[in-house]
Amino acid sequence: MYIIGENIHIIAEKVKEALTNRDREFFMDLAVKQVEAGAKAVDINLGPRKKDFAEVWPWIIETIETVVDVPLSIDTTNVEGMEAALKSIKKAQPILNSTSAEPERLEKVPALAKKYGAKVIALTLKPEGIPIEADARVTIAVETLIPRMMEIDFPMKDLIIDPLVLTVSGCQQYCPHLIETVRTLQYAWDPAPMISVGLSNVSNAVPNENRPLINRVYLAMLMGVGLQMMIANPFDKEQNDVIRWIETKDTGTPLAKAYNKIAERIAASEEPQPEDFNMADPEQAAVWKTTQILLNKVIYADGYLNQ
Amino acid sequence: MPIEIPKDKWPGSIRKVTLGATAAEGGTRAKTVTVGGQATMPYLHFEAPTPNQPVVAIEIKSRKPEDWSPLLAEVWGEAMADPAKWAKAAEAAGADLIVLALTLADTPDDAVKAVKSVLGATGLPVIVWGPGQAEKDNELLVPVAEAAKGEKLVLGLCEDKNYRTIVATAMANGHLIQCRTPMDVNLAKQLNILITDMGLPADRILMDPTTGALGYGIEYGYSVMERLRLAALQGDSMTQMPLIVTPGFEAWKAKESKVGEGVPAAWGNWKERAVHWETLTAAALMESGADILILRHPESVKRIKAAISELVTA
């Protein structure tokens, strides 16, 4: 699993504060720790930075490239900010995060990525919103995103499609569709485009104590349909266990076996079954209940584990 | 050529909930009313019978409401000033249940008195609503629940910000509760989980998913109801509560029912329109699975009861 570490994000109070203070040590430390924890790239989201992008981006890129060699993911909606960042990159091939299928963004962002030799993440998002159905999202990729890349002669190996994870709390019906989108997108082009998701979006608006479990179970399902890249928290040890169990087919513990079974079932276009889990074990029972909300079989409620 | 109609068989069903208690059951009601029990989507009789048909409640208030439509004042007349008389009139108009809405002006003594007078005037099961402000609801509903212990009243409204006190007093005094959430399946289910976690048996909960009137968001309301009902039939026990809805309250807020002057002539006769608005709102909700419909105008009650009997015998 290629993890793009998500922890340098302006939404975190500490990141916000460190940025205000231009605290180099903080950012260097957070970048190094993510890479040590297994991140293969580091995402940088500092918000739109409409006023100070020309100063902030070169500063943060220089700071982080002082200590790590991995690709940096430039996560902003500000196209001028993107360019300021791209100009400053000295080490690995960066990732532009992101464009969508909205005409204005699709006009500018891929061209910028091409100019600076960056990879680009493209969201299956149109001006009218995100479609629910898997087919409609694949259609956006095939009929809008990929043709635009070909039009500007963008190297297809540098295109990463993000089919957009939405939260189980409020957009529950989207969750199974995203799984099918990831499955189908791999057949959308030859060679298959890279696919990446923002995993933790699946548990937005969920109480904090339940978020990691929902993220992990969804991850097992997405690995079942072949997901190999995601923006996620590399420090989540239990998530990293799930990745290792599924990647190495490690069924040494009952829980590892249960997670492998989820991935296998989803890979075979089957649904996880109660007999796949030892319901006497509360941990496995919780995993089972989580599969049911993520597949939209049981209506999500904050207290779904207590039902 | 014979055509075989495909039939769904669902693993789950709606819980049966009984409102009111007769003397033999520790109350004073002349009869009880049971709702729920459905094992399929509404009125698909070829799949499963409708074990308990929807019922109609009429909403009355502990004090004469000043903000109700003159059309309602005209039809209920002086009975509106006396909850006992109003309850009797409502029963005569065909109500299966009485909803007594308390007001902010009521003291706990007033509330108990109003509930007792209604219980004395009618043999129908009774639903009692607080005035809708958390503290005041608790202040009035607790003494009411104690004074009517064993009657199997329905106490409402429980909402996510204020349910503990009402649930506790319902548990202590053998009543039911009506829990309301704002048109959201996730929140509806969550509140049921929280309330059953407190120890109230699930068959003492009526679920109010909130609805809008015809032309004012009713489609959001009935979509939520349909989704809850489908989940219930699929076996989700925390969505299997019968549905209680308030088409009367919603429809009489709409301009089309409320306003008789200064509207286009094409809108036609005011009274006809107002009753149509309430009836059509209620009918749409009934067809999406409502078990208890709370109405205000006796003519709407008559029409909805006729629609129910046609639907269940169809």
Q: Do B236 and A299 touch (CB under 8 A)?
A: yes
**Which chain B residues are within 8 Å of A306, Cβ to Cβ?**
193, 197
B186 has a chain A CB within 8 A of its CB: yes
Q: What is the CA radius of gyration of chain A?
A: 19
> In whole angstroms, what is the distance from residue B142 CA to residue A253 CA?
52
Chain B residue closest in CA terms to A302: B190
Handedness of CA B112, B113, B117, B120 (dihedral sign): positive
What is the reported pLDDT for B314?
58
The residues pairing with B126 across neighbouring beta strands, listed in sequence order, are B98
CA distance B2 to chain A (A): 35
> In whole angstroms, what is the distance from residue A113 CA to residue A92 CA?
14
Q: What is the pLDDT of residues A13-57, one digit of tens each?
A: 999 999 999 999 999 999 999 999 999 999 999 999 999 999 999
Please determine, for residue A301, whether its predicted confidence score (pLDDT) is greater than 90.
yes
Q: Which residues of A69-96 are buried (b: 16+ CB within 10 A; e: fewer)?
A: ebbbbbbbbbbbbbbbbbebbeeeebbb
Please determine, for residue A90, whether its predicted confidence score (pLDDT) is greater than 70.
yes
DSSP A225-287: TT--EEEE-TT-HHHHHHHHHHHTT--SSHHHHHHHHHHHHHHTT----GGGS-TTSHHHHHH
> In whole angstroms, what is the distance from residue A85 CA to residue A94 CA?
9
Could you say which DSSP state residue A40 is in?
S
Closest to A302 (Cβ–Cβ): which among B185, B190, B239? Answer: B190
If you count them, how many residues does chain A have? 307
B187 has a chain A CB within 8 A of its CB: yes
CA distance A170 to chain B (A): 7
Q: Do B189 and A169 touch (CB under 8 A)?
A: no
The answer to whether A126 and A144 are in contact (CB under 8 A) is yes
Q: What are phi and psi of B103, to 5 degrees?
A: -125, 165
Amino acid at B203: D
pLDDT tens for each residue of chain B, 314 residues long: 888 888 999 999 999 999 999 999 999 999 999 999 999 999 898 898 889 999 999 999 999 999 999 999 999 999 999 999 999 999 999 999 999 999 999 999 999 999 999 999 999 999 999 999 999 999 999 999 999 999 999 999 999 999 999 999 999 999 999 999 999 999 999 999 999 999 999 999 999 999 999 999 999 999 999 999 999 999 999 999 999 999 999 999 999 998 888 889 999 999 999 999 999 999 999 999 999 999 999 999 999 999 999 987 75
Q: Do A307 and B193 touch (CB under 8 A)?
A: yes
Q: What is the ipTM of this complex?
A: 0.78
**How far, CA to CA in Å, does A144 sit from each of A129, B105, B313?**
14, 62, 54
Of 3.20.20.20, 3.40.630.30, 3.40.50.300, 3.30.1490.390, which CATH number belongs to B29-36+44-313? Answer: 3.20.20.20
- % of chain A surpassing 70 pLDDT: 100
Amino acid at B182: P
**Which chain A residues are within 8 Å of B227, Cβ to Cβ?**
299
> In whole angstroms, what is the distance from residue B116 CA to residue B149 CA?
11
pTM: predicted TM-score of the whole model, two decimal places: 0.85
> In whole angstroms, what is the distance from residue A123 CA to residue A140 CA?
9
- Over residues A272-294, the mean pLDDT reads 97
Closest to B231 (Cβ–Cβ): which among A170, A299, A306? Answer: A299
What are the domain boundaries of chain B?
A: 29-36+44-313
Q: Which residues in A have their CB inside 8 Å of a CB on B?
A: 169-170, 172, 297-304, 306-307
Tokens 């940096």 correspond to A72
> In whole angstroms, what is the distance from residue B162 CA to residue B179 CA?
10
Tokens of B103: 């007001």
> In whole angstroms, what is the distance from residue A112 CA to residue A96 CA?
9
- From the centroid of its chain, how far is CA A291? 19
> In whole angstroms, what is the distance from residue B284 CA to residue B150 CA?
34
> In whole angstroms, what is the distance from residue A72 CA to residue A87 CA?
13
CA distance B182 to chain A (A): 13
The answer to whether A222 and A233 are in contact (CB under 8 A) is no
What are the domain boundaries of chain A?
A: 2-233
The answer to whether A28 and A64 are in contact (CB under 8 A) is yes
The residues pairing with A306 across neighbouring beta strands, listed in sequence order, are none
Q: Do B236 and A170 touch (CB under 8 A)?
A: no
User: SS3 of B273, please?
Assistant: helix
Domain A2-233 belongs to what topology? TIM Barrel (3.20.20)
Q: What are phi and psi of A293, to 5 degrees?
A: -75, -35
What is the reported pLDDT for B308?
93
Beta-carbon contacts of B258 under 8 Å, excluding residues fewer than 6 positions away, are B69, B252, B274
The answer to whether A235 and A212 are in contact (CB under 8 A) is no
> In whole angstroms, what is the distance from residue A105 CA to residue B271 CA?
55
Q: Say if strands B176-180 and A159-162 run parallel, antiparallel, or are unpaired.
A: unpaired
pLDDT bracket for residue A130 (50, 70, 90):
confident
Q: Do A299 and B197 touch (CB under 8 A)?
A: no
Closest to A298 (Cβ–Cβ): which among B197, B228, B236? Answer: B236
Tokens of B26: 């520790």
Amino acid at B142: V
What is the reported pLDDT for B23?
96
**Which chain A residues are within 8 Å of B197, Cβ to Cβ?**
303, 306
- Report the interhelical angle of A24-36 vs A53-65 (nearest 10°): 50
**Which chain B residues are within 8 Å of A298, Cβ to Cβ?**
231, 234, 236
Q: Which residues of A101-116 are buried (b: 16+ CB within 10 A; e: fewer)?
A: beeebbeebbbbbbeb
Count CA atoms within 13 Å of residue A240 on its CB side.
Answer: 12
Beta-carbon contacts of B170 under 8 Å, excluding residues fewer than 6 positions away, are B145, B155, B176, B177, B200, B204
